[in-house]
Amino acid sequence: MDEHVAVSVEAVFREERGRLLASLVRHFGDLDLAEEVTSDAIEAAVARWPVDGIPPKPGAWLLTTARRRAVDKLRRDKAYAAKLALLQVDAERAAPAAMAGDELPDDRLQLFFTCAHPALPAEDRTALTLRCLAGLTTPEVARAFLVPAATMAKRIVRAKKKIKEARIPFRVPGADELPHRLPGVLQVLYSIFTEGYAATRLDLAEEAIRLTRILHRLLPREREVTGLLALVLLVHARREARTENGELVLLGDQDRGRWDRTMIEEGLALVPIALTGTPGPYGVQAAIAALHDEAADVATTDWPQIVALYDVLRALIPSPVVELNRAAAIALRDGPPAGLALLDDLDEPRLREYHPYHAARADLLSRLGRHPEAADAYRRALELAGTEPEREYLRRRLATEQEHRS
């Protein structure tokens, strides 16, 4: 296959796969069958398009091919006979819109809510979203979360079984349900982003941004969707400066000239929209990220405003991590003693197993000249750190504190 054609075909598959799968799920009500015929249609396209060219409406071509494969399969399989009858009724009803062949309808919104249904365990929601909406293979999803492929396969099968047995509907929640269901969808997308960001898996972080863009197109008036998109853009804009020679570079030490200004401007434009009316957690976090991205350096960062935003955030979503970040901001506003006092007062067992807590304490202890205590805190952070760039950074800081000690 010609390289240019191959790239074009891959781009089409990437854009159309989720829409195709969602449309087929809506018609068939069966996720396994929809996935199977989606794969069949893409295989057919791989064989045909390099020879015949990419059709003018590739989504419609894929949908027609997939539906034919599905009907053939249902006719051969007696277990699907009843479903075939229902499919034919649905197809007749949908003919004016979905079957006209002009465009592939965008049913991805219902798939977002199905994959993130509260009846599914949290880890299953994330896995299913990556598998169905992002189009990652099961081994790719497994690698993203550092678990064996067999474990991830069981997780995805379990989620599909739960959808089938609990008769979870493939639909967008009504207006009365949306406020309760949307946070779950946003949490899945943010979890994918933070997992990719923490593991310096840029491909995973970028996939989360792509999915968030899709959700934003589908729900443009939902402020928290706008807030999440702004947040991930403003954070991801710093990606090139976040590591150096395989070592983590903290925000205060990053070369801000390497930040993606285009992405920052896009994120900044979304923040006022996200903060319209009563702000939500993602809008507030986006506002915090915006203040960081707008500042020329740490010294000129508006720390009083960041602390004020953390005060708002802790009222919206009280959590140990919010308290940790607020204490770090107060240390930069009021000085290391104030921040350290807050950290030491945090009576939260979960933080004791969270390496950023110990790293933050170590940094403040070091600034106060308490190097032996700082070394102990860095040592504990190193024991808990999950990625090699983080560990390399902590090793260097620990070595510096040990030099002060000797």
Q: Is the pTM of this model over 0.85?
A: no
Residue 15 pLDDT exceeds 80: no
100 or 357: which carries more pLDDT confidence? 357
Taking only the tens place, the pLDDT of each residue in 220-261 is 999 999 999 999 999 999 999 998 888 889 999 999 999 999
Taking only the tens place, the pLDDT of each residue in 135-161 is 888 888 887 777 888 999 999 999 988
Confidence band of 377 (pLDDT split at 50, 70, 90): very high
Residue 101 pLDDT exceeds 50: no
Tokens 């779950």 correspond to: 184
Percentage of the chain beyond pLDDT 90 is 44
Residue 5 pLDDT exceeds 60: no
Q: How far apart are the first and last CA of the chain?
A: 63
- Each domain of the chain, given as residue ranges in start order, spans 3-106, 334-406
Structure tokens at 204: 């995973």
DSSP code per residue over 297-364: SSTTS-HHHHHHHHHHHHHHS--HHHHHHHHHHHHHHH-HHHHHHHHHH---GGGGG-HHHHHHHHHH
Which amino acid would we find at residue 204? L
Confidence band of 96 (pLDDT split at 50, 70, 90): very low
Average pLDDT over residues 55-73: 87
Average pLDDT over residues 37-60: 87
Residue 178 pLDDT exceeds 90: no
Query: What is d(CA 280, CA 268) in angstroms, rounded to the nearest whole number?
Result: 16
Across the strands, what pairs with 243? 248
> What's the mean per-residue pLDDT of the chain?
86
Which of 6-20, 55-69, 150-164, 387-401 is predicted least confidently?
6-20
Residue 62 pLDDT exceeds 80: yes
Cβ contacts of residue 334 below 8 Å, gap of 6+?
none
Average pLDDT over residues 164-182: 83
Q: What is the structure's pLDDT at 146?
A: 72
Average pLDDT over residues 19-39: 86
Phi then psi for residue 248, to 5 deg, are -65, 140
Burial class, 395, CB count within 10 angstroms (exposed 0-12 / middle 13-18 / buried 19+): middle
Residue 89 pLDDT exceeds 60: no
Q: What is the structure's pLDDT at 304?
A: 98
Query: What is d(CA 400, CA 247) in angstroms, rounded to the nearest whole number?
Result: 15
Alpha-carbon distance values, 125 to 106, 111, 119, 157, 342 (Å): 21, 11, 9, 12, 35
Structure tokens at 107: 């049913």
Structure tokens at 16: 């159309």
Q: What is the structure's pLDDT at 95?
A: 39
Average pLDDT over residues 212-221: 92
CA angle 2, 22, 205 (to 5 degrees): 65
Residue 90 pLDDT exceeds 70: no
Check if the beta carbon of residue 297 is closer than 8 Å to that of residue 275: no
Q: What is the structure's pLDDT at 81?
A: 57
Query: What is d(CA 239, CA 249) in angstroms, rounded to the nearest whole number?
Result: 10
DSSP code per residue over 204-234: HHHHHHHHHHHHHHHSTT-HHHHHHHHHHHH
Q: What is the structure's pLDDT at 123?
A: 84
Give SS3 for 82.
helix
Q: What is the structure's pLDDT at 94?
A: 40
At the topology level, CATH places domain 334-406 in: 1.25.40
Alpha-carbon distance values, 392 to 70, 197, 353 (Å): 52, 17, 19
